[in-house]
Amino acid sequence: MNAIILAAGMGIRLLPDTKNVPKGMVKLFDKSLIERQIDIFKKCGIDDISIVTGYLAEKINFPSINYFKNENFSTTSGNESLYCAKQKLNDTIICYADLVFDISIIKKMIDFHGDVGIAVESNWKTHYVGRTFHPLSEADNVLIDESGKIIEIRKNIQKPNANIGEFLGIMKLSSKGSSLFLKRFSELKESHVGAFHGSPSLKQSILPDMIQELIDLGINVEPVLISENWYEVDTPQDLDFARKIFKNLNHNGCT
């Protein structure tokens, strides 16, 4: 098993913290967000770690890490970045670089044995209390049917009494799931024109767009339900909230 950290974006909303470093290199206490993720993966026995860089790529430099650069980071988004590391897609955990999370979340992803699994929290609205610069409507929502199957993923799903969660930005693809993802994305790169699910184009599409594409193809995408601490650091306000949530954080092993 290996891990890919998507760290190509500019992180404009996190300015001025991202003026001189990429988003994932912003520090939470004594370590950057990416460094914390690397520590967690290694403590969980995952030593084959890749980072997809882009904006200020030279600022991301950790030993014994594989690097892939999205040269078109300013005009593309997450799916194109992941495709840059396609040679590493094979029984892989993928995560956004702007996340901080408990080590137990990665353990749950490791324990998932389906082909496509995404980390989902049901009690997601609590993450938006007081979050004035990142409204509820920006959440990547997941709609889960009565059988526990994901049937829709997009921003701002509004369906009363439905089982709706939030996609954390962490995904696991088995070897088969990786092949399915790469095959479909390669086909789309050859032929797709115009908007792609919730994004203006395929090049600018994000992971939820490709997840929805797989769902539409009849591929079983399963939720890995999360209740542990995690936070997305998208704005300076988010960074302040993360400091409060994780002030007593101690990664002492993957158990």
83-93 tens-digit pLDDT: 999 999 999 99
Enumerate the domain spans of the chain: 2-245
| pLDDT at 53 > cutoff 70 | yes
Tell me the CATH class for 2-245.
alpha beta
Given pLDDT bands bounded at 50, 70 and 90, which one contains residue 221?
A: very high
Between 197 and 135, name the one with better pLDDT: 197
User: Smallest Cα–Cα separation from 14: which of 28, 3, 4?
Assistant: 28
Q: DSSP letter for 57, please.
A: G
User: Smallest Cα–Cα separation from 242: which of 101, 79, 135, 130?
Assistant: 101
Kindly report the average pLDDT of the chain as a whole number.
94
Span 181-190, average pLDDT: 98
25-41 tens-digit pLDDT: 999 999 999 999 999 99
What pTM does this model have?
A: 0.95
139: its two tokens = 């959440």
Span 100-119, average pLDDT: 97
Amino acid at 239: L
